[in-house]
Structure 1
Amino acid sequence: MKKLLSTLFSLFILACSPKAEQSLNNLLKDSTKIEGKKNYLGSPYVTAGNRVYMVGHQDGTFPALGWHIKGEMGGIWNHPIKLMDGFDVEMVVNGQVLALSKASEFVNYPYANKHLFEFKEEDLIIERIQFVPDSVQGILIQFVIKNNNTKKIDGNVKFTGHTNLRPTWLGERSNMVDSKDSAAFHDNYWIVKDSVNTWYTIFGSDQRPISSDELKNSEKPNGVSNSLEFVVTIPAKSEKTLNIAIAGSYDSRTDAINTYNNILENFVPMAEAKKARYKELANQSKLTIPDKHLQDTFEWLKYNCDWLVRTIPEIGSGIGAGIPDYPWYFGVDSEYALKGYMAIGQDKIVEQTIRLLDSVSMAVNSNGRILHEMSTNGVVFNKGNINETPQFASLIWEIYKWNGDKEFLATYFPTIKKGLKWLLEENDDNKNLFPDGFGMMEIHGLDSEMIDVAAYTQRAFADAALMARELNETELAREYRKLADQLKEKINTEFWSETFQSYADFIGTDEQALKLIEDALVRADTLNKPWAIEELETTKKQILSNPSNEPRPFVLYHNWVVNTPMEMGIADSTKAIVALDNAKQFTNPFGVFVTGIDRDETAGDDSGSFKGSKVFSYTGAVMTLPTGVQAVAENNYGRPNEALDYLKRMSRSFSYALPGSIYEVSPDYGMITQAWNIYSFAVPIVNQFFGIKPLAHQKTVVIEPQLPKEWDNAALENVKVGDNIISIWRSQSESGHQIKITQTQPDWKIQVVLPDDGYTAQEGDAQTETKNGKTVFTFTEATMVVGKN
């Protein structure tokens, strides 16, 4: 009798609860979405939030994922701890067990995702929708059960959560020691605690279960599995919802309970708020171009950027590098990515990430060296590769040009001065201005004088000179400018290889080169690259027949970093064009090879793709960062059509495996979403194609567009520069060519730079002058139009 009353009460609650009828589908109806591919249902997705995120497979399962903590990088994370490995769901109808483990469809939305499970014999469809509210340590899972039958359906839904409270990577270094979990059922939810630590997971529903069971979990000796079972009755041709909240805390039971209750009570307004915020993200730096696939790619990259925000109140907020294996903080990844984040208006997280990197780097290094990798528990794994310190300097100058905040500049310039001093005083043994040590290429032995370290060091001193002048440190500005000029000259002479029509991978001794050649030969032989073997053997013979006692430049690997002198605009134009053309042979349809000797025999043709190894490796990889660097480099030398080609190659990976995202390694290997992708798109599009060169500290924006030929009609709207908003429209018709620009702060100066080719000011009062074969129109109005007939 008691069980019957409980069942009836549950049915009453299910039928009458207003939350039960608040289907998230209503909110998703007018949201942009992308449906996944059937053949990628067995691959990962992410439900993202800045506090909690969930990683599973598109088919609805939660297999072991990742290598940083082997098999543990999936599931539900509330850094610096994990909450759950995942969950299983099944519905029993007429004695038949319907497992929600083989979704027929996966749909991704900017702020949520959905799995569709079809049970044709029962005429039943179950949708699983999930989203993570902003700044909340929990997730809402909603099941929409649709009865398409002409008869009602009576059934039970069983939800089993596999809790695994454990620390993140390097937890043992911060005294985070995992212990056995224990669980207790309270009212209508399970509360799980690590027996030694104050780590909690809570999961349950706003509908009372008819039973709850604690299950044995033999696979995870420190985890537990617990289930909740609900009775559902669904009238003919109707639907019911079941809401599950999963919440956690790494320091408070009360916080976990309050979060759990808050999600169940307020998930609809929370979802509405996140939807509205994502609409704002889409409208910032809004791109409209003829190529709708590339346009969609750019829009979704803005969402990807937000997916990677990781907030740990005790540490701060910052962008992670990638999901699932790199959700924590990196120096160099941020130094590329944040330039792109700024160009799309996500300035708050830019300044938060910089604050985090600076404060932790100074705490662990104290000498201006910028850290490389830091876990979410605060443990720094790598105190910094050589390139990260100069790149930090250039990042600060770039962000200052966007925000115009002199206090921001003054805050970080002391770190920059220390870092540049450390760079040359402690890492340049032969005092030739080329620092020694690892740069972007993580290949054993490539730690002498690297081309990317040299290029980024030159740019750092050039940018530091501008910062010093801005802060009235005149003598220091002259010193930095002199070093920058010397480095530019040395890079163009000492790193250039006429034989290979390329800048060298590194400058080193013959002994270093011969050892690296042996390693490279093994690699080329393993990958079956006979052309690379022949080239390497030839280089080896040349070294042995013409030995040198002095370090000299070597081209061995054709690593992508040989293009950084063009990315930084250091290369003289003659060398740059030759090197850019030469680089095309180290591409495939998706972009640029990380290591050139790995290229396919059919490189440059529309065939072939990367086949990743089971043991995680970047060998043979094509990646978005090298490809984006090449696009930036092409634009620097007035070749927007070639730059667009690289963007198109990268965009071929968009939605290839995870709808709405671009993988780290093209097209479908490594991280399922990656922070530096936005650098590879936003800088070429915003700064170069549309030519927006911010000078917020001078209340000036220089606009020097160089749009690809294909973009006859294009627009970039709502670009944030300081407290100004800039929009640009370019139109072309038989009657002529027109560029319209608006700004929200008409006291600012807008300088439009165009070829000296018959352009006139058609709207607005412009001062006009000609410089170096270009016409400069200077406006101080809300709307201005320049064109020619």
Structure 2
Amino acid sequence: MLKTESIMDICRTLKIGDNERDMDHWIVERDTSRSEGFYSSVIKNGPVHFVCGQNGSIESWISPRRRVGLWNFDTQHISGLDIKVNGKSEKETFLKYVRGFAYIYRQYEDFERLDFIASKKAILEMKLRSEKLVNFEINIQILHETAWPQSNFGKDYRVKVNERYIRISSSIASTTINYKSNGNTKIAIDNQKITISSDSTSFLDIYVSCDDSLPEENDLENSIKYNEKTNTISNLVTPSFRINKLFRWAKHDLLELFTSTPIGNGFYAGIPQFSWFFGRDGEWMSMAAIECGLGDLAQNHLDMLYSFSKGGRIPHEIPLSNGGHIKGDNYKIGDSPVSTQFMSIDSSPLWIICMYMLSGWTGKKSDEKTISDVMNFCKSCDRDQDGLIENRFSEGLIGWPESWAQKRDGICVDVNAWWLEAIRVFDQMNGEGNRRFESILKLYKDLFYRFTENGITIIDSANDGKTRDIKGAMQIVPAMYFSGSLFSEGLKWLYQPDLVTEWGVRSVSNRDRFYDGGYHTGTIWPLMTGWMVLALYNNSMYTEGFDMIETFTRLAFSSLDPGRINETYNPEFLYAEGQFFQGWSSSLFIQSIMEGLLGFERVPTDDDPSEMMNPHLPESWDEVKLLNFPFRNKVFNITVRKGNRKEASDISKYMQKNEWQINLSKENAI
């Protein structure tokens, strides 16, 4: 049985320098990190997540769209928390924060604390330990509210207290707090604020249950086993410790954000502001999950999206409340009210690409009926029958740049690159050849790519014969899928300091008249940095591609919550913005390694993964390994090294590609 004290013994010795040595933990220290612990942290297991400060406290507040505190599925249970020892708050005595797989450890002046969420239960468990007898005071604010867009608040709170637990129930939820201590324990209740005092004690365990389930001795062990599942597959070994560690944790990010719910199972977009299901967010996460061996999670998300589709139209977002449905127009862009449920056009072609990726990497047969359904919807967006699909703001058919979607009606460079790739794989998988794809690609190139005396430029969009010449990240997208001199020259125009920074890619060039540094109009997005990596590698710009890969590690290792990559970053002063835990920021790093560095084909067509690889490693590297790599119901160990010498006796396949040899170990059935 794994004991709390065993984890505490490990975490107690860790220092901030171990971020560069220890693969399994991320550390913040009050003194060396110059942090008082008020930056965000999260632990999550299934539908339960707990967001608080790194010092362990929660400032009480109400905000159903920003889910701070303890939440189970769509309902909040805790909105405030403060722990005092001998009269001093944890905010004053905080010393260290350590994030491991499944748990968070905190060290204070007079005690230690370990938090985790039990697997397959809705229980937050907090273990408090002290080497001497102290007086604990735990203040917990209970609040019952349901998540956006429903936003209902609990009424008629009722309290029940006995020797074993405290239960607070309302019109919408029930929260039960169990406790265990070796001291003298007293309970006080003031409205929904619960105070647990335990005097002359060296340990106090607090169990906050959102579903009346009870704690068990093996909860910590089971939680760690679940969270370390990603460490058993697709283990990357390169000369870069930072890349290895971030790849390990990016896989875990996908598992952590995967959520089973009554309305379906899939990936939350992130925490704490977008903790529900999205189309394009979840599709980018599904691509990474498919490539690193978590195809079952991706299958769940893609199936859930289709279950909410309407006439083959894949939704933009699916809220947790109200059965996953949004009623009426719940959002405004400028002065125009819109419904965000189906507020996208790109979710549909991206879904098609994902479905064929899932088939290619797992070997599962595609459901051609559902894919045809979505293809037919996409074709319906081509009103003039020229082969290219059109954005229409009035119908919610918009791409990623939501804040200027009204100005982007017509044919857009990003959306039609995804549509072309969807056509290519659909026709290829259905034995239709490339005639339709090549015909539309020619039209696409003639429309979007312009030859000037200074080289090639790329327009953003066109409508009614008028073009829009906004320079931004949307023009990266075609080079992710298509190669050749036209696309590589276009990339050179994009790969300039006005768009590319040391921290990633701006959404709009800072020299463009449209730039204002805003969320959709200039902010740096790791999502788009990943697009740039894939485009560069696809067009043989390998040095620049690897430079962009290192952007991800730079962000993760400098993060205020080490290991996390934020949603966005300021485009001028390069500090973190947006939510601190963003799914596609991690998933694009995985894709950058798998499709970029290792050169895997996006939609494999062969049972031998080495046939689907064209690796391009940095000049200074001699070898890279991908171990326990699941692919089409088998597990492979792949070694890529310089030279042309077969060295290991257990190699079942050896092949040479350019200067790199690929060694494939004997495979085992899953």
Distance 1:694 1:567 in 2: 10
Q: Could you tell me which residue of structure 2 aligns to residue 160 of structure 1?
A: 139
Q: Could you tell me which residue of structure 2 aligns to residue 421 of structure 1?
A: 376
Q: Could you tell me which residue of structure 1 aligns to residue 292 of structure 2?
A: 344
CA shift in 2, pair 1:66/1:296, >3 Å: farther
Q: Could you tell me which residue of structure 2 aligns to residue 433 of structure 1?
A: 387
Amino acid at match of 1:678: S
Counterparts of 1:498-517 in structure 2, within 5 Å, are 498-499=451-452, 501-509=456-464
Counterparts of 1:624-663 in structure 2, within 5 Å, are 624-655=526-557, 656-663=559-566
Q: Could you tell me which residue of structure 1 aligns to residue 250 of structure 2?
A: 301
Structure 1 residue ranges without an equivalent (≥5): 1-17, 119-124, 148-152, 217-223, 234-239, 250-255, 470-476, 510-550, 604-609, 764-778, 784-789
Compute the displacement of 1:105 (Å).
2.1
Distance 2:628 2:656 in 1: 20
Distance 2:46 2:639 in 1: 34
Counterparts of 1:598-747 in structure 2, within 5 Å, are 617-655=519-557, 656-666=559-569, 667-693=575-601, 698-701=606-609, 702=611, 703-732=613-642, 736=643, 738=645
Match of 1:203 among 177, 180, 197: 177
Compute the displacement of 1:136 (Å).
1.5
8 Å CA contact retained: 1:728, 1:739 = no
CA shift in 2, pair 1:582/1:384, >3 Å: closer
1:476-521 Cα distance to aligned partner (Å, 9 max, x none): x35xx43322221112111113347332111124xxxxxxxxxxxx
Counterparts of 1:209-608 in structure 2, within 5 Å, are 210-216=185-191, 224-233=192-201, 240-249=202-211, 256=212, 259=213, 261=214, 263=215, 265-266=216-217, 269-312=218-261, 314-361=262-309, 365=310, 367-377=311-321, 378-380=324-326, 381-406=340-365, 409-410=366-367, 413-425=368-380, 427-437=381-391, 438-444=398-404, 445-469=407-431, 477=432, 481-499=434-452, 501-509=456-464, 551-556=465-470, 558-569=471-482, 571-585=483-497, 586-597=499-510
8 Å CA contact retained: 2:178, 2:206 = yes
Aligned length: 618
Q: Could you tell me which residue of structure 2 aligns to residue 46 of structure 1?
A: 42
CA shift in 2, pair 1:190/1:598, >3 Å: farther
CA shift in 2, pair 1:740/1:137, >3 Å: farther
1:287-315 Cα distance to aligned partner (Å, 9 max, x none): 11222122222121122222211221x22
CA shift in 2, pair 1:307/1:86, >3 Å: farther
Tell me the SS of whatever aligns to 2:562. Answer: coil
Tell me the SS of whatever aligns to 1:671. Answer: coil
Distance 1:398 1:559 in 2: 27
Distance 2:636 2:577 in 1: 37
Distance 1:332 1:741 in 2: 43
Compute the displacement of 1:282 (Å).
2.2
Distance 2:240 2:638 in 1: 17
CA shift in 2, pair 1:594/1:21, >3 Å: closer
Compute the displacement of 1:440 (Å).
1.6
Counterparts of 1:753-772 in structure 2, within 5 Å, are 754-755=657-658
8 Å CA contact retained: 2:636, 2:666 = no
CA shift in 2, pair 1:743/1:582, >3 Å: farther
Compute the displacement of 1:64 (Å).
5.9
Counterparts of 1:106-185 in structure 2, within 5 Å, are 106-118=97-109, 125-147=110-132, 153=133, 155-171=134-150, 178-185=154-161
Distance 1:742 1:327 in 2: 48
Amino acid at match of 2:106: H
Distance 1:350 1:290 in 2: 30
Tell me the SS of whatever aligns to 2:45. Answer: coil
Structure 2 residue ranges without an equivalent (≥5): 13-21, 327-339, 392-397, 570-574
1:432-491 Cα distance to aligned partner (Å, 9 max, x none): 22222111221322232111111001011111113323xxxxxxx35xx43322221112
Compute the displacement of 1:700 (Å).
2.9
Compute the displacement of 1:227 (Å).
1.4
Compute the displacement of 1:717 (Å).
1.3
Compute the displacement of 1:343 (Å).
1.8
Distance 2:621 2:2 in 1: 48
CA shift in 2, pair 1:341/1:597, >3 Å: same
Amino acid at match of 2:179: S
Look at both structures and tell me which one has the larger radius of gyration over its CA atoms. 1
Distance 2:356 2:4 in 1: 52
8 Å CA contact retained: 1:624, 1:680 = yes
Q: Could you tell me which residue of structure 2 aligns to residue 104 of structure 1?
A: 95
Tell me the TM-score normalised to structure 2 length: 0.85
Give the percent of matched residue pairs that are identical in Structure 1 and Structure 2.
17
Larger % of helix: which? 1
Tell me the SS of whatever aligns to 1:307. Answer: helix
Distance 1:645 1:141 in 2: 42
Distance 1:722 1:574 in 2: 35
Compute the displacement of 1:581 (Å).
4.7
8 Å CA contact retained: 2:640, 2:661 = no
8 Å CA contact retained: 1:704, 1:752 = no
Counterparts of 1:66-85 in structure 2, within 5 Å, are 69=64, 72-85=66-79
1:504-559 Cα distance to aligned partner (Å, 9 max, x none): 111124xxxxxxxxxxxxxxxxxxxxxxxxxxxxxxxxxxxxxxxxx143212x22
Amino acid at match of 2:143: N
Amino acid at match of 1:502: T
8 Å CA contact retained: 1:496, 1:553 = no
8 Å CA contact retained: 1:41, 1:59 = yes
8 Å CA contact retained: 2:630, 2:636 = yes
Q: Does 1:91 align with 2:50?
A: no
RMSD in angstroms over aligned alpha carbons? Answer: 3.1
